[in-house]
Amino acid sequence: MKNRVDILAFKMESFDTEDFIKELISYSRDCIILVVDFDKMVIKYKPQNVSFQRNVFEFHKTKSNKLNNLILPFLFLLDILLLIRIFAAICFKYRPRICWIENLYVTFIIGILKKFHLCGKLISLSSDWLVNPAEKRLWSYIANNLLFPFLDYFGWRLSDVVLYGDERLAQARYRFWGRNIAKRKKMFSPICFPGLSLKINNSDRARNAICFLGDMRLDSGLDIAIKALFDIRKQEGIVLKIIGPQRQNYEYFKKLTTECRLEAYVEFFGFIEAGKLREILDDCFCGINILTSLNSYSNYAIPGKQIHYLQFLLPIIATEDAGILVPVIKEKALGIIIEPTQVAFKNSIIKVYKDQVEYRKNIINFINNIQRINIKELIEA
């Protein structure tokens, strides 16, 4: 087929986006790469013989967060229909030989298209386990405990290879289904592929900002950080930068900041694309990942925010259940693991602030000694 492409990749915007694109293009320049964030999907790379009417596809939402939450199922359906239309068109026209997919919904869509011989080998990255019977909110319960398992089962059954960044995620899926549902699975470390690359130069300059990166969930520990900042500032002139989409809990944390009389020392930036983080993080000395819920899906997820922190030389203050990097943080002295309390948070912040230069040296040494995985090992698995 004249217009057939070698690889179709659907990549989540994360710490490794730039490096992944470079790795994939080095493997084959005959590829289409789409990258998605909270608001849109962007065509980041395509061969010259491939054409699209536009390069950016906006997801559906209104200007009101409250209205978005109210009509969330309808908006979700519109976004799914958008994804079906885009990927059906790509597969019908270009018949990709290999599909690399980092999203369960798209995995399911591509899996169905594969059944009609519109694409070849399907490689899926398993990065989340959302099933949580304790979830009380209606739409979240339906999405996480009904829709997610349905798509999970058929998505992985339709995949040729499922890639896991952590054995715990594979075990959670195995316990739920009582058997291995993937045809083939392959383990890899997210710090080894495409690997961590430093995004900022080291210096001995003292920095004074704490960074919170990610979704402002109620179990994110952000309330602990805000409440503790008042006492922290009695000892050091430290501020807090919050980077993440301003969704349903934004007003709660904004109000909490006001109640704690910290408006001048807490800054909300909203979602920032990875390529624009360097300037904002220039004066940050640490990154935080404080989880207050044992049922958080972050226990199984690839810890993108933590790897972002390391790439910008930010030691990590996290809790014990904050993902697969916790043992590495302890062993390599890349930060401090704490209990989710204000006292523990305050003490760890003061320590990292005073020893920030030494922590940055530890991070550089760790990144420079990573044994990286070549993309060929995963694509041809």
> How do residues 326-337 score in pLDDT, each as one tens digit?
999 999 999 999
- pLDDT for the residue numbered 137: 73
β-strand partners of 87: none
Give the pLDDT mean for 176-186: 85
- pLDDT interval class at 296 (50, 70, 90): low
pLDDT tens-digit map of 123-138:
998 877 777 776 667 7
- pLDDT for the residue numbered 299: 62
Residue 19 has pLDDT above 60, yes or no: yes
What's the pTM?
Answer: 0.81
pLDDT tens-digit map of 182-198:
888 888 888 888 777 88
pLDDT tens-digit map of 69-125:
788 889 989 999 999 999 999 999 999 999 999 999 999 999 999 999 999 999 998
pLDDT tens-digit map of 134-153:
666 777 778 777 888 888 88
- pLDDT for the residue numbered 2: 57
- pLDDT for the residue numbered 49: 87
- pLDDT for the residue numbered 305: 87
Both tokens assigned to 285: 């000395």
Question: What domains can you pick out in the chain, each with its CATH number?
Answer: 7-187 (3.40.50), 209-367 (3.40.50.2000)
Share of the chain above pLDDT 70, in %: 96
Give the pLDDT mean for 161-180: 83
- pLDDT for the residue numbered 98: 96
- pLDDT for the residue numbered 293: 76
Residue 300 has pLDDT above 70, yes or no: no
Average pLDDT, the chain: 89
Query: What SS3 string covers the chain?
Result: CCCCCCEEEEEECCCCHHHHHHHHHHHCCCEEEEEECCCEEEEEECCCCCCCCCCEEECCCCCCHHHHHHCHHHHHHHHHHHHHHHHHHHHHHHCCCEEEECCHHHHHHHHHHHHCCCCCEEEEEECCCCCCCCCCCHHHHHHHHHHHHHHHHHHHHHCCEEEECCHHHHHHHHHHHCCCCCCCEEECCCHHHHHCCCCCCCCCCCCCEEEEECCCCCCCCHHHHHHHHHHHCCCCCCEEEEECCCCCCHHHHHHHHHHCCCCCCEEEEECCCHHHHHHHHHHEEEEEECCCCCCCHHHCCCCHHHHHHHHCCCCEEEECCCCCCHHHHHHHCCEEEECCCHHHHHHHHHHHHHCHHHHHHHHHHHHHCCCCCCHHHHHCC
Residue 38 has pLDDT above 90, yes or no: no
